[in-house]
Amino acid sequence: MELGPRGIRVNSIHPGFIETPMTASGPAAFRESNLLQIPLGRTGTPADVAPLVVFLMSDESSFISGAEIPVDGGQTAHVGAFPISQAIRGLRGPGRELDGRVAVVTGAASGIGLALAERFAAERMKVVLADVDQAQLDEAVRRLLASGAEALGVRTDVSVAADIDRLAARTVQEFGAAHVLCNNAGVDTGAPFSEIPLASWDWVFGVNFRGVLYGCRAFLPLIRAQGEEARLRWMTDNVSPPPRSGRPGI
């Protein structure tokens, strides 16, 4: 309600079982049980998620706000899912204004975040990659720069407010604006609920909840302050409480 009149839309993407380092580290039985529930008969890849983000930034989706969109091969369809096929339809078309815009992606050194960064770069956006893992971040940025992309890496722990403030400042310093923020960084203990130590919940909430909060607090004023931003998109993480072990969507 608050952001709609400013042309800022808020949508939430809910990945199902996506093959990334996070899911690879989990128990095989968890993967198998998920697979059995997926009508399309396969698990997802980060590349299954990234095109939806691009669609939500395009003018074709200009009337979509407040949507919760699963990308899960139909896994949640039996409890009533957003018709993703409608969202994907028309992904490419007129009215895309991504070229030269600035995207910030947290957790960008791996998995879905890396796929987002690569996809934004392919759309000729300027990309700021933020991650706590310096070595992986350096490698991701190196590869993007080598491909001709305009990219910047900023080592960031999203659970530390000062780190996010520094990320916002570096983004503006380097690229002069921020048009899209993907609060993608997230962690998962990989353990069943009853076996998760309390200390791990602090870590999970620090990254998955406070990280999103800090990201929104730091970047929303920038997006609002940019006069040209009236039609730009605000994207953020879903921070709904986890049923299993603390996963937000993106």
Ligand X SMILES: NC(=O)c1ccc[n+]([C@@H]2O[C@H](COP(=O)([O-])OP(=O)(O)OC[C@H]3O[C@@H](n4cnc5c(N)ncnc54)[C@H](O)[C@@H]3O)[C@@H](O)[C@H]2O)c1
The residue ranges that bind ligand X (CB under 6 A) are 15, 17-18, 20-23, 106-107, 109-113, 131-133, 136, 156-159, 184-188, 207, 247-250
- Rounded Cα distance between 250 and 245, Å, is 16
Residue nearest to ligand X according to CB distances in the complex: 186
CB of 185 to ligand X, least distance (A): 4
Is 214 or 234 the residue whose CB approaches ligand X more closely? 214
Query: Contact at 8 Å (CB) between 136 and 160?
Result: no
CB of 52 to ligand X, least distance (A): 13
Is 69 or 229 the residue whose CB approaches ligand X more closely? 69
- Rounded Cα distance between 16 and 116, Å, is 16
CA nearest neighbour of 131 among 146, 145, 116, 150: 116
Query: Contact at 8 Å (CB) between 176 and 153?
Result: no
CB of 43 to ligand X, least distance (A): 8
Query: Contact at 8 Å (CB) between 69 and 61?
Result: no
Is 168 or 187 the residue whose CB approaches ligand X more closely? 187
CB of 16 to ligand X, least distance (A): 6
